[in-house]
A and B are shown apart, each in its own frame.
Chain A
Amino acid sequence: MALYSEKVMDHFRNPRNVGVIEDADGVGEVGNAKCGDIMKIYLKIENDVITDVKFSTFGCGSAIASSSMATELIKGKPLSQALELTNKAVAEALDGLPAHKMHCSVLAEEAIRAAIKNYYDTHGIPYDKSEFPDPSDADEHPADED
């Protein structure tokens, strides 16, 4: 379908890093089933480097593709680099997303940050709390006209 780029369709059809890491060092879940998308990201971390990453996603084609691309972009990278990943970078790596689907890339960025925050929290690692604002959820959606 012409709605999405070939890159989006490729990551949607053959998502990379799908699954669960049972003994993950950090897990982040963002989104809301009521709004139709939830992303969950599992990280395996050694010496501040993401050695493995998996995801599961409930959502539309671009949500699944954004999760897949985001995991590819942070795999093997130090946490500092993963924290710099922006939703724009995810969307660009997918050769763009339709305007009304940009929030899918935002979810991917937020899921990664949530997983890293969870890693810090569960491992007693100090961090600057102001750098981890609450991820967006249903409340951020503007009210429908109806």
Chain B
Amino acid sequence: MDKMIYADNAATTAMSERAAKAMLPYLTQIFGNPSSLHTVGQIAKEELEKARASVARSLGCEPREIYFTSGGSEADNQAIRSAAETGAGKGKKHIITTAFEHHAVLHTLKKLEKEGFEVTYLPVGSYGYVTAEQVKQAIRPSTALVTVMYANNEVGTIQPIAEIAEVCRAAGVTFHTDAVQAVGHIPVDVKAAGVDMLSLSAHKFHGPKGIGALYCRRGVPLRTFIEGGAQERGKRAGTENVGAAVAMAVALEDAVSGLTENAAKLVKMRDRIIDGLLKIPHSRLNGGRENRLPGNVNMCFEGIEGESLLLLLNEKGICASSGSACTSGSLDPSHVLLALGLPHEVAHGSLRLSFSESNTEEDADAILKAVPEVVEYLRSISPVWDDLVKGRRKHLI
């Protein structure tokens, strides 16, 4: 394998040099516990608060509205649990979400259902969008929370967050958005969007793993998620990961300042790859083309299975992902693709490519050469494709 092409940036990104460099001193030199009164501790505390202020600036909010967490999943868990408990205290036990949220949201909601909450899962249509009108129609007097992702992690569709926030505000319902795939990739301003709570994760925008944040608007009640010390204004105990918070702040500053330029480059690459791969017969793009994350490509190829596609692309040095059952470790293909209405047999043959600004047009060339080759080979050994070609089975796409 000569050169590796990393096209799985929605899974995780490489840390930027600047973020890594910012983090290093905290491993050995600036090691203090921000809760300590002595100088060593207070230096760490000062840097932690600078990082908080920086993250707040990048998102358009006040520092006190930022709570550091271990990542996006924890932020989602805390936001949903907190709003549910607050709602339940007022006798409100209804939650609205979409059918294609991340599992950090869906599994938390499943658990709440077992605890007596009722959850409405809004359909996302064949292109992967919900509307503010759908949310409006679903809101009841007993609705405690609306949680809708900013952008979908698999198919990259961007939801009308500001419009949904407006509907929620008018109805007096708390609105949370899982913005893990959006922050650093598309403009996110929490005040302009009007959201009450927003989750983000550093490793999706070239920051370190193990750190994220929850934005919680002033005035929105937030429950303590981890009991213990008084860190994070008493809402999340545990000695702070100062170096990671500092690195996240740096990565976010860079992502936000380079956003327009990077997005323009990625959109060009993305569209070229989509157009190129759509030339493969019986292929389809999953998720709409408008309002789509700049670096997201998600396709299905009929008659083949996603895991074997990934393994063969890996042999050619291309790292991607798939929504097939065999890659998810479950028996069903991706719930996101099923939510778009794709039949199981088609959803098994999916490929997600997600790019960052470090990908090049040469990477795109290599992908446009490799994917059609691998699809053609796998079809040549597939009894399903044979049936499709010979008319024994009907084409679904």
Contact = CB atoms under 8 A, between A and B. Distances in A.
A39 B383 contact: yes
A13 interface: yes
19 contacts: A1-B314, A12-B311, A34-B345, A35-B344, A36-B305, A36-B325, A36-B326, A36-B345, A38-B383, A39-B383, A56-B386, A57-B381, A57-B383, A61-B311, A63-B305, A63-B308, A141-B331, A144-B331, A146-B106
A23 to B, nearest CB: 16
A106 interface: no
A64 B329 CA distance: 17
A39 B305 CA distance: 12
B46 interface: no
Contacts of B303: 58
B308 A64 contact: yes
B384 interface: yes
Given A34-B344, A61-B307, A40 B383 contact: yes
Interface string B1-34: 0000000000000000000000000000000000
B134 interface: no
A60 B324 contact: yes
Interface string A11-55: 011010010100000000100011111111000000000000000
Interface string B180-192: 0000000000000
Given A36-B324, A57-B382, A146 B311 contact: no
Interface of A: 1, 9, 12-13, 15, 18, 20, 29, 33-40, 56-61, 63-64, 100-101, 141-142, 144, 146
Nearest to A142: B331
A64 B330 CA distance: 19
B304 A58 contact: yes
Contacts of A29: 383
A5 to B, nearest CB: 13
Given A144-B330, A146-B110, A146-B335, A58 B382 contact: yes
A15 B378 CA distance: 11
Interface of B: 106, 110, 303-308, 311, 314-315, 324-326, 329-333, 335, 343-345, 348, 381-386, 393
B311 A1 contact: yes
A146 B121 CA distance: 13
A100 B305 contact: no
Residue of A1, A37, A58 ringed by the most chain B CB atoms within 10 A? A58
A15 B311 contact: no
Nearest to A143: B331
Contact of B331 (A13, A20, A35, A56): A35
B12 to A, nearest CB: 17
Contact of B384 (A13, A15, A38): A38
B308 A61 contact: yes
Nearest to B332: A144
B331 A64 contact: no
A46 B109 CA distance: 60
B265 to A, nearest CB: 30
Nearest to B329: A100
A60 B333 CA distance: 13
Contacts of B307: 60-61
Contact of A60 (B110, B305, B385): B305
A89 to B, nearest CB: 22
Nearest to A19: B381
